[in-house]
Structures are given as structure tokens and as C-alpha cells.
Structure 1
Amino acid sequence: MAEALRKQAAAETPLFREAPHNLEAEQALLGAILVNNDAFYRVSDFLKSSHFYEPLHRKIYEVAADMVRMGKIANPVTMKTFLPADEKVGEMTVTQYLARLAAEAVTVINAGDYGRAIYDLATRRALITVGEDMVNIAFDAPVDMSPGAQIEDAERRLFELAETGRYDGGFETFSDAVNLAIDMAGAAYQRDGHLSGVSTGLRDLDQRMGGLQASDLIILAGRPGMGKTSLATNIAFNIAQAYEPVQQADGSFSAKNGGVVGFFSLEMSSEQLATRIISEQTEIPSSKIRRGEISEGEFERLVACSQVMQKIPLFIDQTGGISIAQLTARARRLKRQRGLDVIVVDYVQLMQGSSAKSSQNRVQEITEITTGLKALAKELNVPIIALSQLSRQVESREDKRPQLSDLRESGSIEQDADVVLFVFREEYYISNREPEPGTQEHLDWQTKLAAAQGRAEVIIAKQRHGPTGTVSLAFQAQFTRFSDLADDARLPEHFE
């Protein structure tokens, strides 16, 4: 009985299943574009030539797109010279086929629906490709590929598919790259401050860096007590507070100003991080908040601040010792569910590698982590601010300003980073070297301390697409707040 059922099932199963497609929808859309070029703009934001199933349709759409973008008319007469004249479509030439498409065209009103149908079917075909690859790799996995590595690869491919509607990789034309560069310039022109990247909320730092650039790995390093975590939380809050979404053609939202921030806090709990931010915003010292030494008026300020902050798109993950694979998976998930414009990691040395081999060697592990962070920044197309410790050799020098060689396990960090920032506060070192009171040295020390008080330096030691140098900032230690420095040159004129 079972054997008979198996034979019957085998007989009913088709030997060949064609990938999902709809040639009629492709023909209808191309016809609409040929009759009225405005139809192209209904689909150009999400539909690429690679989404068409029929190779000839891909070519027709590509030629039409190039002509429309150049301001030329795309119709059967103007396009025929750019298409293969000797190719046949059944009994028709390509020229006759173009005329048939135009003659049987749908109205421009339906163009968006046909474009969406073509896009969805292309996504299904890409899903089939990913699924087939998963099955084939699982059956014939190489010895050095663990199941975890395959899951990570499959998740990455599925994420790319969800984000872009296609999975291809490989080369792209230079014209596509130029279009992306022009789009970036246009976005910078429209954004507040005319920055090409996301504004940090600190004017002088933005002027040097042009904001935080998408796909950049930004290392923020400093010795303990310099305030690197404070600077990172200040920047994260400024970006989240300035978030201004704008709807795209495909219905999704992107940030016109500010952005959604994912903060991976490996050192502090989410409650400690929130206390720091509340202290900065309300100007109530965090030590007073923790001890409960606040007045009724201060408590009301805390409550009012918390109500405003609840609407801010700042998401905190407080998992300690997170691996680069876990961080990558959670960042992808956040981008899919809530959107994601900036990632902050506090800090690199508390992270773990994913492979057993790298965990045996700390330098190799840090290399895997920084390489993974740079790859994630490119994949998600967001800037990643990763905090890092500095080695103790800084303390043995007379000038305590950090250098690139001071980065712990510096080789890979320095190599993978697009930008390296050092936080330096001379006030910290001067205040720890107080001489005997009443002496000339003590008077000199007081003068130096007064000059350094409330000031901090952010040293841009490396920047791939901009100048290096030093940015001076104001620092209020009791509120852990960095802000722009009010120089005399920027103060309004005053008269005696």
C-alpha cells in the first residue's frame, strides 16, 4: 500500500518547477513606460532592471531608464537603435516587439501595481536561491565550516534580501556608484548644518568630520577618567533627540535629521546609562540622583525629563561579554524592526570573538571583533562608534596626549578604523599632581589648573576622508556633559 502511494506521489510530482515570474506584468509595465515616460518615476525608486525575469525585458528597462534620466524621450522609435536588431521574439523582431508593447500598454495609473508585482516575484526568486544554497551547503559542508557559521551566513543573506529586495553582491557599475555619491550630496544639502553624515550635536566636531559617515568604523579611545563613555552617551543622545523621520517612496522611513541609535553597553547597566543621560539633561549631578539627595523641584525636573526621553529612539542592550556574532544578529534585528542609523559599542575589549581559535589568542580575537564591526557598518550602512581602552604607556610619558600606538592590541584597531578619536582632559592629570600648598609651585599649579578647568580635547588621530587635528570642547564633570566651547571669537560684541 505504502509503495503504491509513493509511486502515485512520484507520478504526480512535476519533474521541473519554473521560478515564479509574470511576463504579462513585465510587458504591461514596459508598455506603460514606452507610451508615457512618467510611468518610470512610479517604479524607479524600488525597481531595478535585475528584477525582471526575461533578459530582453531587463535590457529594454535599462535602456529606457538611461534615456529618461538623461531627459530624452524613450519610445519604440528612439530606443530601437540601442537594442539588438537581429534578436527575435518568436516571429517578431525587437523593433516590432517594442511597437506591440506600446500598442497594448496599460495606463500609467497601474504602473506602480505592476512594478510591485515584478519586485515581489524577484524577491521570491532570490529567496529560492538562498534556500537552495542553504540546503546544498548543509549537505556538503566543508570540514572547517561550523553550523553556526552557516547560520550566520544565511542570516546575513536574508537580511540583505529583506533590506534591498535582492541578493547579488559582486560588481556594480561606476554609474551606480556616481548616483549614490550624488544622492549623498543631495542629502547633505537638505540636512541641517549641510553635513554629509549624521550630526553628533557638537558643532566643532561636525565641522572637522562632516558628521558621522555611513559605513564608517569610528574608534573612540581614552584612558580611564577621560570621559570617553560620557562623550559616547552625549553623542548618542544628541542623535536620538534630533531624530526627524521622513517617508520614502516604498513606504519605509529614513532619518532626515538625527537617527535611531542602538547602544551596546557591555560595561554599565541600562539604568546607569539612563542616569548619566538624565543628569546631563537636567543638570543634576548623578551622584545626588543615586543617593536621593535631591529637592522636590529637582525631582519634578527629573520626571519631566523622563517623559520627554521616553519618546526618543535610543535602544540599549546591556548584555555583558557579547560576541561579535550576537551583536551582529541583534543589530540586524533592530534595523528590521525599528530602523537603525548609528551603533555605539562600549567597549571593544569587553567583547568576545565567535570562533574557538581566536579566543585562544587575544590579538586574534580583537582582530576578529574589529573586522566584524567594520563589515557590519558596511552591511547596515550605518556609522559604528566603538570605544576602546588605551595602554598604560601613556602614563609614562611627559605629554599624556594619546597616540595611535597607544591603542591596546593597536594593529587591527588602527587598521580597520576609518576614524580614530582620542579623548584627553589635561585637567585630570593636573588635579592629581597638587604640590605643597603655599609654595610658588602651588601658585603655578593653580594657574595651570584654572586654564585647563572645564576643557577637553578630542584628538582626531586618523580620518580616511578628512583632516586630522584637535577639537576643543567644554566638559562639565558633575553632569558628565561635553558641549561646544564658547570662544571669545564667537561671543556677541559687547560695549563698555
Structure 2
Amino acid sequence: MRGNEAPHSAESECAVLGSLLLTGGHCFDKVADLLADSDFYFRSHQVLYRIAGTLVQTGQPADLVTVTARLEALGVLKQAGGREYLEEIVRATPSAANVRKYAEVIVERRMKRQLIDASRRMEELAYEPGDVRQQMDAAQSLVMHLTEGSTVDDEPKSMSEVVRGTLEWIDERHSADSPLTGRSWGFKGLDDKTSGLQDGDLVIVAGRPAMGKSVMAQNLAENVSMGVTSLVDANGAPIIVDGCPVLVFSLEMSNLQLGLRSLSSAGKVDLNLLRSPTRMQNAEDWAKLTVAVERLHNSKLFIDETPGISISKMHAKARRFQRKHGLGLIIVDYLQLMSGSESAARRGRVEELSEITRGLKAMARDLGVPVVALSQLSRKVEERANKRPLMSDLRESGSIEQDADVVIFMYRDDYYNPDSQFRGIAEAIIGKQRMGETGTVGLQFVGSQAHFKDFAGRLPADDSETTASRPPQGSRGGFTFRPND
């Protein structure tokens, strides 16, 4: 490369084309999944690769004679460099053995050219009039597009390879100390039902306001970041594991609000006292607060309070965070406060939410961590006599039901029924679990201290048509098999 000439490798491009012509196109399959004609820098090489590929895909040989004849027939032989140039490419190629490596160099140079183009476009954006935040979102999208296109899909795996990998996974976890295959919620009932939070899963925690969604998310963040689990040793003592970094995107509450709630939960201090510190006259409360500060100081919990963040910006932030700190869990509070792309927004709010949930699922898979997103349910729930949420309540919230691996509805009967015999009890209703059973888990809700506790008592009998109270379609032996899922 000379001066400001765009990145490319003429040698690698010639080597790939020469390999094709030497083998009559037999090595095409080694590079077809990696290379497109647009990846080549030189126009003549783009024409050659496209013609050779077309011949191979139609069952014809793609050697020097056939490719030259095809170029002549189409009137583009001169555009491809001419007969002598093709002969020179073949003479300069000693072997087709390393054709895949040559192709990888071509792709790398193409990516560098795209990076240059993206940087120029970002510079143009910066000079254009308009809202700088929207311009930054557009710049983030450009970078995300580059990143998403930077890796080559692995070869399809045979069922034998899939089974072998699955058996290795089973064997590894069979010999592990923990019965959980994912990260502990810190609540026994949820861990028993889900076997923990699984890497790559999108978990939706949904409900109406005041049902405890944010408290659940906060408790979960604290538990995972501090290594709190639902497990106990042989003596019944809690097992504490190493905490892992947790990134919380708080679109609803400020850092101060989250800090007060976390101190209340971690120290079991009345939240109202923390909100009005002049009322804290009890030495015991101050001692509890000191313990809470120490516990949270040693946690690996991080908060991002960017309002109205887009999925592309969130994904980029999470990836940078993972590179810097590592990452065990992402929590989003809550997804309806996120913004989608302008094109999706123009198509309506349902389409915008669908784009957001698809993006959250893609982020979970890309980063290899669980993503827990809170979701607000519509007021239609309030219009029913039985206000326990149903899966159908998600229908107007984009593609949440399809994209989520797990859906948990939070419900508190005493909020709607002051005379309820189950005061202080919350229900975590597992309405969907792609790889497990549905059902309801009871939790004790301590609202004054912003936390949940395990509850082993009886839950209210639910005779209404709820997802949790009737067998899921196609279920067998506790596992849910959903047609067309």
C-alpha cells in the first residue's frame, strides 16, 4: 500500500483467482462462504471472481480456457484484464493449498476500507446540522454494522458434533459442585425452576407498576455482583461464590434513587429513613447502614443511567464494558423507555419495541451473558377481575413473547386486595421458559426495605385462566415443548 491508497492486497487477490483457475474451480467451496466479488479491491478481479463462481455454481469447470471463453462471450474480457493478464495470474500462483488464507487477507483489507468509509461518514455527520445525540446514535450504528459483519460464520456442524458438544456440557456440569447450570438468582424457588440465569438468554420480567419489578432487578443485580446464591452447604450455611460484574442500564431511576434502594436492601434499613436522614436516630440503623456500605463497596455492580438509550448504543457500551471489566449479567430497567431506530419508530411503536427486543436477544447471544429486561404491562390488566398477568398481555408489546427465552410476571395480590390473606407475598409467575417448566414461585416482599426473601408457604389457589395454572401446550414431564417455537 502506498500513501493514502485504500488498503488492499493485490497479491492475495491474484492468488485466490489463480487458485480457482488452476483447479478448474474445485477450490471455490473453500472460499465461497468467506468471499463475495465486492470484497475484491480491483474491478477486474471482481469480474473474474464473479464469472468463475457462476461457472462453478452451474456445474461447469472454471479453468483458464472456460473462464476466458465466458468473458469473451459476455464482452468483458478486456474489463477483466485481457487474456495475457489471466495467463500471468495462473503462472504466478504456485499452489491452491493456501487459498483460504489468501481469502482471509482479502476480507481483512475490505474491512479496513469499510472502517475508513465509516470514519469519513462519521466526520460528515459531525458537520451536518441536527441533534448531536441522534448523530452519535447514527455513528454508533455505523460501528455496530462494521462489528456485526466482521466475523465469518462457522461451518455448519453435523449432528454428531452437536451431540458430542452437548455430552461434554452435560459431563462438565455433572461433575460441578453446583446443581445450577446458570447464575443463581439468589432465590431458591427461581433457581429450582430455572436452574439459574443461562448465558445468552433474554429474560423478561414483566408486570404492572408497584408489583416489584425494579426491586427484583435490584436484588438480582446485588446477588450476582456479590456472589449471593440460594445454595447451602452440608450444614445448611449459605454458599457465597465469587461475584461477577453486573451492568445495569437504569432508564427510569437515577443513581441516587438506586443507591438509596440498594443501601436499604443490603443493610435491611427502612427506605423511608434513608430518604429522610434526619429521622435516623437509632444507632442500630446507622450500624446496619455501615454494613450495607461495606457490602456494596465490594460488589461488582455498575450503573448506566443514559436516558432513552438506543439498542445500538447499549450494545456498544456493553461490549466496551465487557472488554474492560468482564461481564456476567446485563439488566435493563425498563425496555419501553428505550428508543429504536428512526425507521422502526416511523412504522409504529409495536415495530419499534420489536426491534428493541430482537436487539436485546442479539446482545445476549453476542456477549454470551444473560440479559434481564423489565417490561411494563398495559392498563388492560386492570380491567379484569383477576389481575394476574397472562402471556396474552404481551401481545401489544412487540415481539417480546417470541424473542424472550424466559418470561416472568410479577404479581402482588395484596396490592389489589387489601384484605388478602397473602399480605406481603409476591408471585413470580413463569409464563414461558423455552427450556424448562412454567409455574409460580412465591416470594416474601419486604417493601419497606426494598427486597424479596424466599417464601416456602402456600400460594393462593388460582382457578382463573392463567398460563401458570394450566398445562402448557405440548408439555411433557415438566419441560415445555412449544409448536413452531
The TM-score with structure 1 as length reference comes to: 0.62
| Corresponding position: 1:240 with 2:238 | no
| Corresponding position: 1:483 with 2:416 | no
Task: Tell me what 2:200 maps to.
Answer: 215
- Read off the aligned partner of 1:421 and give its amino acid letter: I
Task: Tell me what 1:397 maps to.
Answer: 384
Q: 1:426 to 1:172 in 2, by over 3 A?
A: same
Deviation, 1:305, is 2.0
- Read off the aligned partner of 2:448 and give its amino acid letter: Q
Describe the superposition over 1:178-229 as per-residue Cα deviations: whole angstroms up to 9, x where unpaired. 4543454345345553111111111111111111111111110011111110
- Read off the aligned partner of 1:323 and give its amino acid letter: S
Deviation, 1:344, is 0.5
Describe the superposition over 1:268-303 as per-residue Cα deviations: whole angstroms up to 9, x where unpaired. 012211221211121111111110122233223212
Task: Tell me what 1:81 maps to.
Answer: none
2:265 to 271, 274, 280: 280
Does structure 1 retain, via aligned residues, the 8 Å contact 2:352–2:398?
no
Q: 1:243 to 1:279 in 2, by over 3 A?
A: closer
Does structure 2 retain, via aligned residues, the 8 Å contact 1:261–1:314?
yes
Task: Tell me what 2:303 maps to.
Answer: 316
Measure the CA separation in 2 of the matches of 1:421 and 1:475: 16
| Corresponding position: 1:152 with 2:133 | no
In the TM superposition, 1:163-174 aligns within 5 A as 167-174=151-158
- Read off the aligned partner of 1:381 and give its amino acid letter: G
Measure the CA separation in 1 of the matches of 2:149 and 2:290: 44
Measure the CA separation in 1 of the matches of 2:325 and 2:394: 34
Describe the superposition over 1:380-406 as per-residue Cα deviations: whole angstroms up to 9, x where unpaired. 111111100111111111111100121
Task: Tell me what 2:178 maps to.
Answer: 193
Structure 1: gaps spanning 5 or more residues: 1-7, 20-49, 51-93, 95-120, 141-145, 159-166, 245-254, 432-444, 489-496
Does structure 2 retain, via aligned residues, the 8 Å contact 1:216–1:383?
yes
Does structure 1 retain, via aligned residues, the 8 Å contact 2:443–2:453?
yes
Deviation, 1:413, is 1.1
Task: Tell me what 2:112 maps to.
Answer: 131
| Corresponding position: 1:290 with 2:275 | yes
1:354 to 341, 351, 376: 341
Higher helix share: 1
Does structure 2 retain, via aligned residues, the 8 Å contact 1:352–1:359?
no
Higher mean Cα deviation, 264-273 or 171-180? 171-180
| Corresponding position: 1:452 with 2:444 | no
Task: Tell me what 2:441 maps to.
Answer: 471
- Read off the aligned partner of 1:460 and give its amino acid letter: I
Does structure 1 retain, via aligned residues, the 8 Å contact 2:354–2:397?
no
- Read off the aligned partner of 2:368 and give its amino acid letter: N
| Corresponding position: 1:205 with 2:190 | yes
Describe the superposition over 1:238-295 as per-residue Cα deviations: whole angstroms up to 9, x where unpaired. 1111189xxxxxxxxxx98653211100000122112212111211111111101222
Task: Tell me what 2:35 maps to.
Answer: none
Q: 1:452 to 1:243 in 2, by over 3 A?
A: closer
* Partner SS, residue 253 of structure 2: coil
Q: 1:186 to 1:129 in 2, by over 3 A?
A: farther
Deviation, 1:337, is 0.6
Deviation, 1:317, is 0.4
In the TM superposition, 1:320-469 aligns within 5 A as 320-359=307-346, 361-407=348-394, 409-431=396-418, 445=419, 449=420, 451-469=421-439
Q: 1:123 to 1:300 in 2, by over 3 A?
A: farther
Paired positions, count: 343
* Partner SS, residue 410 of structure 1: coil
Structure 1 vs Structure 2 CA RMSD: 3.6
Identity of aligned residues (%): 39
* Partner SS, residue 194 of structure 1: coil
| Corresponding position: 1:230 with 2:222 | no
Does structure 2 retain, via aligned residues, the 8 Å contact 1:278–1:302?
yes
The TM-score with structure 2 as length reference comes to: 0.63
- Read off the aligned partner of 1:382 and give its amino acid letter: V
Measure the CA separation in 1 of the matches of 2:241 and 2:269: 32
Does structure 2 retain, via aligned residues, the 8 Å contact 1:353–1:366?
yes
- Read off the aligned partner of 1:485 and give its amino acid letter: F
Does structure 2 retain, via aligned residues, the 8 Å contact 1:353–1:359?
no
Describe the superposition over 1:461-491 as per-residue Cα deviations: whole angstroms up to 9, x where unpaired. 1111111111111111211211211449xxx
In the TM superposition, 1:49-128 aligns within 5 A as 127-128=108-109
Deviation, 1:135, is 5.3
- Read off the aligned partner of 1:414 and give its amino acid letter: E
Does structure 1 retain, via aligned residues, the 8 Å contact 2:12–2:105?
no
Q: 1:137 to 1:297 in 2, by over 3 A?
A: closer
Q: 1:291 to 1:192 in 2, by over 3 A?
A: farther
- Read off the aligned partner of 1:263 and give its amino acid letter: V
Measure the CA separation in 2 of the matches of 1:197 and 1:362: 33
Describe the superposition over 1:390-440 as per-residue Cα deviations: whole angstroms up to 9, x where unpaired. 111111111111001212733411111111100011011112xxxxxxxxx
